[in-house]
Amino acid sequence: MLAHYKLRGDRPILLASAGAVGGGPMRAITAQLLRLGHEAQVVIVCGRNERLRRELARITESQASRFRILGFTDEMPSLMRVATLFIGKPGGLTASECLAAGLPMVIVAPIPGQEERNSDHLLEQGVALRCNQVTTMAWKIDRLLADPERLEQMRRNAQRMGRPDSARVIVETLLHEEAAPVALDPDTQELIAEAARGFGGPVMVYDAATDELLGTISEGQLAVLSAVLERESPDDNDFYIDGPTIELLRDRGADADLLALLEQAIEERGEVEIRWEREE
């Protein structure tokens, strides 16, 4: 992995992730990482947000020798194993993957609810530091990198909490534990089936004018868009998005990832017509 991305093993490696859709304050994070005093190498994963990837590649061009700007990748487990620090949101899967890799975290912009609680737990266990203001990130990371004993302790704490064999344990438990079979009545079975249908593949979101892929959303997020915004017909797969539209969605409880994707979509022109398609 080090050779593949031309990374050096004798320098810290910071792994920053904008998630699968390329949301969050990654531009501000990148600006901070450009200001680091340490000669750290930085890998930034932009997900499916090609516009963000191109923009960050341009922003970091002056320090291109130590920045690697990636789009969507399925190599996150390998990147986590070689990284020194992870920078991003403390979602359940992300936090679990970091802990399994023994990777300390720099937490940024946790959403209210489960991410806030995850953040509290990770801080209490000594595996993370948190940047409530992105503008403090360079200072906090430089301070941590200057304290190798603290960084090593955070790594050991992450290893202690991690469960890299959790999938195997679950399967073995299901196969070998003697437990009474679960019997579900037809109504309950239908409820479960209906809920499962909401966990289909990602929904692709495009700029209707340019056909540029803006990112992906879930069926649940699409349902929020459809419920809040007007559709001309059941077959309509376009939505007009501008600032007031995003505020309306925010007021109606749209989640942070959906709002971040839409905010990035209108960043350049102030408005956009988006088109959605289900992935085949």
Residue by residue, DSSP assigns 200-230 as -SPEEEEETTT--EEEEE-HHHHHHHHHHS-
Whole-number pLDDT of residue 188: 62
172 occurs within a structural domain: no
104 occurs within a structural domain: yes
Phi, psi of 37 (to 5 degrees): -80, -30
Whole-number pLDDT of residue 78: 93
Whole-number pLDDT of residue 172: 81
Same structural domain for residues 25 and 125? yes
Per-residue pLDDT of the chain (280 residues; tens, 9 = 90+): 788 888 888 999 999 999 877 777 899 999 999 999 999 999 999 988 899 999 999 999 999 999 999 999 999 999 999 999 999 999 888 999 999 999 999 999 888 788 889 999 999 999 999 998 899 999 999 999 999 999 999 999 999 999 988 888 888 877 776 655 556 667 666 655 555 555 556 788 999 888 888 988 887 888 888 878 866 566 778 888 999 889 888 888 888 889 999 999 998 889 999 999 886 5
Residue 256's domain comprises 197-278
Same structural domain for residues 144 and 69? yes
Cα 257 to Cα 38, 64, 179, 262: the distances in Å are 31, 28, 39, 9
Residue by residue, DSSP assigns 228-245 as HS--SSTT--EEEEEHHH
Compute the distance between CA of residue 178 and CA of residue 195 in angstroms, rounded to an integer. 28
Which amino acid would we find at residue 104? P
- In this prediction the pTM is 0.65
Same structural domain for residues 131 and 47? yes
Last residue of a domain, one of 109, 140, 163: 163
Compute the distance between CA of residue 140 and CA of residue 193 in angstroms, rounded to an integer. 47
How many Cα atoms are found within 13 Å in the side-chain-facing hemisphere of 56? Answer: 31
The CATH number of residue 44's host domain is: 3.40.50.2000
Whole-number pLDDT of residue 175: 77
Same structural domain for residues 135 and 205? no
- Go through the chain and tell me how many residues it has: 280
Whole-number pLDDT of residue 173: 78
Same structural domain for residues 102 and 233? no
